[in-house]
Structure 1
Amino acid sequence: MPTTVLAAGDHFVLPWLLADAVRAESGDDVTIRELTLPWPHTPFGRVAEVDEASGTEDELIEALAGARICVTQMAPLTEKVLDACPDLELFCVSRGGPVNANIEAATRHGVAVTFAPGRNAAATAEHTIALILAAARRIPDLHSDLRAGTWRGDYYAYENCGIEIDGSTVGLIGFGAIGRRVAAALTALGATVLVHDPYVTDDAVAGVATKVTLDELLSRSRIVSLHARVTDETKGMIGAEQIAAVPRGSVLVNCARGALVDDDAVVEALASGRLYGAGFDVFAAEPIPPGDPLLTAPNVVITPHVAGASRQVAHKAAQIVAADVGRYLRGEPLAHCANPELQRRRVG
């Protein structure tokens, strides 16, 4: 009898993308029903005890009736959902981390949770480079001025000129899938790349970067780009003290998470000239509220948390989780399991 799978997509990772990817992996072994969640037309948020989720517990419970597997990006896997869906065995989250899943509760209920690391690495790396270039050369300001009828020839004045990547030292805080791609691109553009990441070895960065302490990275880097996850150790890791340590006229870029940075310190540094420019795709509060000082800060380039938004990402996300659905149905080990103790129990 075919396994029932719920493809709980949204308006980015579309339900049919998930469904087609699962069929390609599993063929006639599955029956698929689809659910469309409202993200990104409605911002994600906290649902019960999980973060960055879309939709409601009740609609998910109704859609999951009789389903053994759910593939999704944003659906909330909560204690209430798990209690109401005893047939559920596998919950696949098509994003870099399963923040919308209660892993502890899933483990207690015997539900394996998988995720899709690296799905948006290329897109986010490209967006990072775009923000570096835009902030370092003040491209958005020049574009707006020219469209308004002002020819800004004064940007040839030395004090107004930006900086090149070629010959600059760029510091990357975090060296995961995204950081490695950014480092490779920067090296190709002629930069000297420094990396601070306590979880990687010198050998892991060899050939594209040099591993250093955070203090050394800040003191040497004309461009600093953040690629770390938010933990108790990294929350607020870039504040007034750290910004004061960078060379005057540097550029700060954040395509990771807003909680890594003290935005007020950035605004002050932009106003004083300590920072030449900044590029942010993420913010402490999202959507960024009206009146936030970053909205009117000088020489800042801001985008609404879209670094990982490309059509290729949606396809990659669906393919990564669908591959684990295929493995699960064939009795093979899961590639990206967030609660591997269940996998060991199952395989054993």
Structure 2
Amino acid sequence: MTTRVLAAGDHFVLNRLFIDALRAETPGGLEFSELTLPWPVEPFGRVAEVDEASGTEDRLIEALRGIQVCVTQMAPLTRRVLEAAPDLRLFGVSRGGPVNANLDAATEHGVAVCFAPGRNAGATAEHTLGLILAAVRRIPQTHGELVAGRWRGDYYRYDDVGIELLGGTVGLVGCGAVGRRVARAAAALGSRVLVHDPYLDDLGDLAGIAEPVTLDELLARAQIVSLHARATPETAGMIGAAEIAAMRPGSIIVNCARGTLLDYDAVCDAVESGHLFGAAFDVFPEEPIPAGSRLLTTPNIIVTPHLAGASKQTAANAARIIAEDVGRHLRGEPLRHCANPEVLKARHR
């Protein structure tokens, strides 16, 4: 029996990556159609009731006619789309969480939604380490001065130089897939590593590498604080003015996780006052960063446009993880990364 699959890729997770991964996982019995979404050439945004989506409901509805399985990164799985796609049984979202899918509506329509946790952990950890090094050594600032024709040897003054990771203390707030990789990299460079994660029961492979501590102790001891917590109601604003004031004078803070974790105005205040040596961010409370934001004008703050996970390996990992769950679905096996497992339970009653 042939299963009709829609590959609704974009300009990052390409359709050919989905199709190649699916063919490797399930060599026969698949018939493919394709839809290319405009992200990241066009920013993602809200589509009907779902967020961080690309494309339109109408285009997806047309492409899903007769489709049983859809694999995508950004397509909007809304209630309206589900009502117009009666043949759909599996919707694979190749990202860390299916924010572009209405899970309640999918469950009502008997559509399982799977996702790809950890797809960009390696890339995000490397980008985090790059931002740490850029911030402590002021690499972007000195590069900008040099290309502008200024040889700033005065940056060698004691008060203007940063620290080395060798012998320094790195504090990680959150110790999931990304945080664990950053911990190992920092330790390999000779840093003492502190971790704060209330959901961490066992250090596992970080035993002997990282020390679990309270958030207060981490802020008091670490010279470099890097955020790796998930965005939840509990973590919203977890690092505010009081927490930043509790950090060591001359320390830095880095965020490649989620913009909701941090009070960015408080960071700007602390950098301007000299309490913080600097900061580096890849995520923001509003994206793109609004014109006139203090983040764009405060000295010693480094910003990148939410691309920590942007690597060829991330795109390939995303397609592979989703393809593996598609294979399980077609073989009648339990899905490994299902966001609404109650659908699977209902199917087996």
TM-score range, shorter chain: over 0.9
Give the CA deviation at 1:345.
Answer: 3.3
**CA distance in 2: counterparts of 1:103 and 1:187, whole angstroms:** 40
In the alignment, is residue 131 of structure 1 matched against residue 131 of structure 2?
A: yes
Give the CA deviation at 1:211.
Answer: 1.1
Give the CA deviation at 1:347.
Answer: 4.6
In the alignment, is residue 282 of structure 1 matched against residue 283 of structure 2?
A: yes
Deviations 1:83-112 (A, max 9, x none): 111110000000011111111111111100
Could you say which residue in structure 1 is the equivalent of 2:175?
A: 175
Could you say which residue in structure 1 is the equivalent of 2:298?
A: 297
**CA distance in 2: counterparts of 1:283 and 1:138, whole angstroms:** 21
Could you say which residue in structure 2 is the equivalent of 1:268?
A: 269
SS at match of 2:26: helix
Could you say which residue in structure 1 is the equivalent of 2:216?
A: 215
**CA distance in 2: counterparts of 1:325 and 1:274, whole angstroms:** 51
SS at match of 1:287: coil
Give the CA deviation at 1:29.
Answer: 1.1
SS at match of 1:28: coil
8 Å CA contact retained: 1:255, 1:307 = yes
Could you say which residue in structure 1 is the equivalent of 2:68?
A: 68
8 Å CA contact retained: 1:202, 1:211 = no
What is the aligned residue count? 348
Residue ranges of structure 2 left out of the alignment (5+ in a row): none
Instruction: Give TM-score, length-normalised by structure 2.
Output: 0.98
Q: 1:337 is matched by which residue type in structure 2?
A: C
Give the CA deviation at 1:24.
Answer: 1.6
Deviations 1:223-277 (A, max 9, x none): 0000111111111111111100000010100000111111110110110011101
Could you say which residue in structure 2 is the equivalent of 1:200?
A: 200
In the alignment, is residue 238 of structure 1 matched against residue 239 of structure 2?
A: yes
Deviations 1:152-179 (A, max 9, x none): 1111110011111111111101111000
Give the CA deviation at 1:341.
Answer: 1.7
Give the CA deviation at 1:191.
Answer: 0.7
SS at match of 2:35: strand
Change (3 A) 1:221 1:142: same
Q: 1:37 is matched by which residue type in structure 2?
A: L
Instruction: Give TM-score, length-normalised by structure 1.
Output: 0.98
**CA distance in 2: counterparts of 1:155 and 1:308, whole angstroms:** 32
In the alignment, is residue 307 of structure 1 matched against residue 332 of structure 2?
A: no
Identity of aligned residues (%): 68
Q: 1:241 is matched by which residue type in structure 2?
A: A
Q: 1:330 is matched by which residue type in structure 2?
A: R
Could you say which residue in structure 2 is the equivalent of 1:149?
A: 149
SS at match of 1:38: coil
Q: CA RMSD in A?
A: 1.0
**CA distance in 1: counterparts of 2:335 and 2:119, whole angstroms:** 16
Could you say which residue in structure 2 is the equivalent of 1:113?
A: 113
Q: 2:25 is matched by which residue type in structure 1?
A: E
Q: 2:221 is matched by which residue type in structure 1?
A: R
Give the CA deviation at 1:207.
Answer: 2.4
Deviations 1:169-192 (A, max 9, x none): 111011110000000000101111
Could you say which residue in structure 1 is the equivalent of 2:253?
A: 252
Deviations 1:94-135 (A, max 9, x none): 001111111111111110000001100000000000000000
Give the CA deviation at 1:15.
Answer: 1.2
SS at match of 1:183: helix
SS at match of 2:126: helix
In the alignment, is residue 158 of structure 1 matched against residue 142 of structure 2?
A: no
Give the CA deviation at 1:342.
Answer: 1.9
Give the CA deviation at 1:19.
Answer: 1.4
